[in-house]
Structures are given as structure tokens and as C-alpha cells.
Amino acid sequence: MITQWFFSHGDRRSLIVIAILLAIACLVPLLNLLVPDTSPLHVPTYLVSLLGKYLTYAMLAVALDLVWGFCGILSLGHGAFFALGGYAMGMYLMRQIGPRGVYADPVLPDFMVFLNWKELPWFWHGFDHFWFAALMVVLVPGALAFGFGWLAFRSRVTGVYLSIITQALTYALLLAFFRNDMGFGGNNGLTDFKDILGFNVQAGTTRSALFAATALFLALAVFVSSFIIRSKLGKVLVGVRDAESRMRFLGYRVDRYKLFVWTISAMMAGIAGALYVPQVGIINPSEFEPANSIEAVIWVAVGGRGTIVGPIIGAVLVNFGKTYFTAAFPEIWLFALGALFILVTLFLPKGILGLYGSWKTRQANRAAREDDEILPPVVKQNGTLMPTPEPQAAE
């Protein structure tokens, strides 16, 4: 029965993606843990973590696509929600170090001892419990997004204005987290993690488990996104994206729809950040860099915005390219990334999936033409080629 409900509420493409993700979640850890090192099928532990990192990025991209691709809100500050989730997880991991730090203080993390702090700041209390940290991973980005969105959407800040103030938001957080007296480790951030839920963070088994968890959560994110998109609410969101004023005149409370999807998206980004931190082993203020958030936008654009699968493909591809280029030709990476931004916006407004879609349309049209030669030439011309014009983001 559950299966039936599942099928009736997800589109086919999302279900395929979810199935693939579940398969990966089982397969990669198995190949890492059970297949011997010598076998060509063995997945080394570093690769498990790297793939896990890509998947957290993919999750961030899915979250971003939910607001940008389906609701027309271009956020240049989603990295902030990602980083906040990461910090919440980082705080839990810091508290788990306990007396094993360099200064061996049973309560205070090393950087606080170093700064001569005598007791734990109030906002660090509770982070020794995993459930509390997990709650904060969702609540902190969610609350920030809710407050910010409530102010912004209510006063109808849209389009590039909204993009610019989201950028200012993440920039302000960047400056704030760089400060030592904020109590988040300043410039160095949080690192030197030891345990998560009692398991060694460095161990291969823990890494595999984290990878599996990331894949599962990504699958969940895909499911939630596709559920929202396919619901009536999702239709309203697309309506807001394409003609915001018209939706308002039709009687929809546009700001509430936007606020809902914006907050959900921020929570998703927070979870992605929380999964990111134990796998890379550090969280520092540079995660708040506005450049990071814009990079996340290009993952979505490359994959194809307004689709659920596209962001995942984009995030993995672009980050794979980044890993490869920054190692092999560090000089070229920024050129490549810059060119990617320019070329995708100029020539691939619908991303890779859009390309695939228009190729399929072309195929179908060719087939139709061969089937039906008597169509008048005008219709033929209209029916072929050219992807449909990009729906304008609400301005």
C-alpha cells in the first residue's frame, strides 16, 4: 500500500533517481567494505568521502532548485543555510571531542581555552546531545530563512533585489563568523573531530555509513521536492514563478507560498551542510563566502533548473570537474568555471536536461515528419527545433 501511495505521488523520473540513489547507498559502502583492496571494483575510503561530499552538494542544489527553478527566487545566499547546518553539526562534533583536545579541557573546545574563555557560551549548551544538534541543523537555517523571507516576501522584494540582499545576508554572516568573540572558532572554524554518535569519524565504516546516510537524505530531498512540485501547491509555485502579479490577482497569497517553499529549501540546505561537515572534517567561515553560493547556482543551471534531476547531475559534474581541474590545472579552473557560467546562460538556459529534452523533441518531430509528409511547411517549421522560450523569472 505504501508502494502504491509512493508511486501515485512521485513522477517516474524522480522515482528512477530515488531508486538509483538507494542503490548507490547500498553499493558504494559494500564495494568499500567487503571487496578486497586488490580488486578493481574496490572503492577506496577517500573516494567514498569525496562522493559523499558531491552528494551533499547535490542536495544543496536540489534545495536551491526548489526555490529558483520552481518559484523564481534566485538565492545567492543558500550557502549560508548550508553553512549554518554545518556549524550546528560541527558544534555537536566539537562537544564529542571532550577531554581529548590539545588542552584536554573536559567541557570547553580547544579554541575557547586558547581564547581564555572560562565557561561555555549559552548557545553551546545542548549540543552535546545528538538529537538537539540534529534539531538545530533544521531549526536554525529554517528560522533564519523564515524571518528573512517573512520580511522580504511580505514587502514584495523580488528578482535581483532579493538576490542581492540574500548575498548581503551571507556576506554579513561571513564577517560575523570570522570574529573570534562570536564563539564559533573564528577564522579556523571547527575541526579536529573525533567521534560521531560514538563512532570514529575517520574510520572507513563510519565514512561508508555517512555516505549511505547522505544518499538516503538526498533521496528523501528528491522525494519531498517532487512531492511538493506535483501537489497543487507546486502548481501555484510555478504560477508565481511565471506570473507573480497574476497569481496575486487571482487571490493567492503569493508571499505565503514563497515563504513556505523558501523555508523548506533552507532546511534542506541545512541538512546538506550537516552531512557535509563530518565527511570533510572541517567547517569554517569561508563556507559563507558569497562565491560559494553563486557556485551552487551554476550547478543548478548546468544540470537544468526547473527539473528535479538536473541539479544533482549539475552538482556532481561541476564538482567532479573542479576536483579534477584544481588538481591537474589549477590555473585553468577559474577560467573553466567562468566560461561555464557564461556559456550555460547564453547557450544552455535549460541546462543539460534541457538539451536532452530538445534533442528528444527533435527526434520526435523528425519521426512525425517522416510519418506525415502532408503537413503544410509552416506547421513543420513551428513544430520543430528551438526549445520553447525560457519562462521569465518574476521581475
Partner 1 sequence: MSLSRFLSIIAMLGLCLFPAIAGAQVLDDAKLKPLVEALAGDNFDNTSKAVSELAKSGAPRAAAILNALSAGDLYVSKTDKSVFIGAREGSDYAATDPLTGAKLAPVPRSAAEKIKVNNRLRRDIGAAIGGLTLMSTNATERRTAAEAILKNRDPETIPLLDQAITAEKDAGIKVLMQRAKAAAVLNSTAVDDVKIAAIAEIKSGNGREALGLLTPLANVQGPVGEAASAAISSINSELELWNGIQNIVYGLSLGSVLLLAAIGLAITFGVMGVINMAHGEMVMIGAYTTFVVQQLIRTSMPGLAEYSLLIALPAAFLVSGAIGVIIERGIIRFLYGRPLETLLATWGISLVLQQATRSWFGASNVQVSSPSWMSGSFDVGMLTLTWSRLWIIVFALSVFAVLQLVLKKTMLGLRMRAVTQNRRMASSMGIRTPWVDALTFGLGSGIAGIAGVALSQIDNVSPNLGQGYIIDSFMVVVFGGVGNLWGTLVGAMSLGIANKFLEPFAGAVLGKILVLVLIILFIQKRPRGLFALKGRAIEA
Contact positions toward partner 1, by CB under 8 A? 74, 76, 148, 151-152, 154-157, 159-161, 163-165, 167-169, 171-172, 175-176, 178-179, 290-291, 294, 297-298, 301, 331, 334-335, 337-342, 344-346, 349, 390, 392-393, 395
How far is it, in rounded angstroms, from Cα 207 to Cα 196?
10
Considering only CA atoms, which of 184, 187, 176, 169 is closest in space to residue 80? 169
The answer to whether the beta carbons of residues 160 and 394 sit under 8 Å apart is no
How far is it, in rounded angstroms, from Cα 304 to Cα 298?
10
Shortest CB 230 distance to partner 1, Å: 25
Q: State which residue, 117 or 341, has the beta carbon closest to partner 1.
A: 341
Shortest CB 394 distance to partner 1, Å: 10
Shortest CB 79 distance to partner 1, Å: 14
Q: State which residue, 156 or 380, has the beta carbon closest to partner 1.
A: 156
Shortest CB 297 distance to partner 1, Å: 6
In angstroms and rounded to an integer, the radius of gyration of the C-alpha atoms of the chain is 23
The answer to whether the beta carbons of residues 273 and 173 sit under 8 Å apart is no
Q: Dihedral, CA atoms, 364, 370, 376, 378, nearest 10 degrees?
A: 40
Q: State which residue, 231 or 345, has the beta carbon closest to partner 1.
A: 345
Q: State which residue, 34 or 168, has the beta carbon closest to partner 1.
A: 168
Q: State which residue, 149 or 278, has the beta carbon closest to partner 1.
A: 149
200 three-class SS: strand
How far is it, in rounded angstroms, from Cα 35 to Cα 21?
20
Q: State which residue, 229 or 294, has the beta carbon closest to partner 1.
A: 294
How far is it, in rounded angstroms, from Cα 125 to Cα 288?
23
Instruction: Tell the burial category of 378 from Cβ atoms under 10 Å away from its Cβ (0-12, 13-18, 19+).
Output: exposed
Shortest CB 294 distance to partner 1, Å: 5
Shortest CB 274 distance to partner 1, Å: 24
Question: Looking at the DSSP assignment, which residues form a beta bridge with residue 191?
Answer: 282
Q: 301 vs 38, 142, 256, 280, CA distance in Å?
A: 39, 24, 26, 25
How far is it, in rounded angstroms, from Cα 32 to Cα 206?
11
Q: State which residue, 44 or 338, has the beta carbon closest to partner 1.
A: 338
Shortest CB 71 distance to partner 1, Å: 13
Which distant-in-sequence residues (6+ apart) come within 8 Å of 339 by Cβ? none
Q: State which residue, 153 or 193, has the beta carbon closest to partner 1.
A: 153
Shortest CB 220 distance to partner 1, Å: 28
